[in-house]
Chains A and B, each alone.
Chain A
Amino acid sequence: MTGPPLTPSQTVGPFFAICLPWPDGPQVVPEGSPGAIVITGRVLDGAGEPVPDALIETWQAGPDGTFAHPDDPRTVTRAAGHADAAFRGFGRCPTGADGEYRIVTLRPAPLPCGDGRTQAPHLDVSVFARGLLDRVVTRIYFPDEEEANAADPILLSLSERSRRATLIAAPGTAGEFRFDIRLQGEGETVFFDV
Chain B
Amino acid sequence: MSTDEPATGEGAVTLRPYQRPRGVHPPADFAPYKSSALRAPSQPLVLLPHRLTEITGPLLGEERVKPADADLTTQHAGEPQGERIIVTGRLLDGDGRPVRRSLVEIWQTNAAGRYLHPVDQHPAPLDPNFTGVGRCITDDEGRYRFVTIKPGSYPWRNHPNAWRPAHIHFSVFGRSFTQRLITQMYFPGDPLQPLDPVFNSVPDTRARQRLVARFDIGLTEPQWALGYSWDIVLRGRDATPFEPDGDDR
Contacts and interface: CB of A to CB of B under 8 A. Distances in A.
A and B held together in a complex: yes
Given A7-B233, A15-B119, A59-B177, A72 B38 contact: no
A126 to B, nearest CB: 6
Contacts of A73: 13-15
Contact of B248 (A49, A115, A188): A115
Nearest to A191: B41
Contacts of B11: 74, 112
A10 B182 contact: yes
Given A7-B183, A131-B35, A133-B25, A116 B131 contact: no
B75 interface: no
Interface stretch (B78-86, B203-211, B217-225): B203-211
B30 to A, nearest CB: 6
Q: Which of A3, A51, A77, A136 has most chain B Cβ within 10 Å?
A: A3
Contacts of B58: 59, 88-90
B47 interface: yes
Q: Interface residue tally of chain A, by bracket?
A: 35 or more
Contacts of B1: 74, 77-78
A133 B197 CA distance: 10
Given A10-B198, A64-B7, A191-B41, A3 B96 contact: yes
A173 to B, nearest CB: 27
A73 B17 CA distance: 12
A14 B119 contact: yes
A118 interface: yes
B57 interface: yes
Interface in B1-55: 1, 3, 6-16, 19-21, 24-28, 30, 33, 35-43, 45-55
The 7 closest A-B pairs by CB, nearest first: A131-B35, A131-B39, A90-B58, A133-B26, A19-B107, A192-B48, A69-B56
25 contacts: A6-B235, A7-B210, A7-B231, A7-B232, A10-B184, A13-B169, A15-B117, A18-B132, A22-B64, A46-B38, A59-B58, A61-B52, A65-B7, A67-B52, A73-B14, A78-B1, A112-B13, A114-B14, A118-B8, A119-B52, A131-B40, A136-B28, A136-B41, A184-B41, A191-B43
Interface of A: 1, 3-20, 22, 45-47, 49, 51, 53, 57, 59-61, 64-69, 71-74, 77-79, 88-90, 109-116, 118-119, 122, 124, 126, 128-137, 139, 153-154, 157-158, 163, 183-185, 188-194
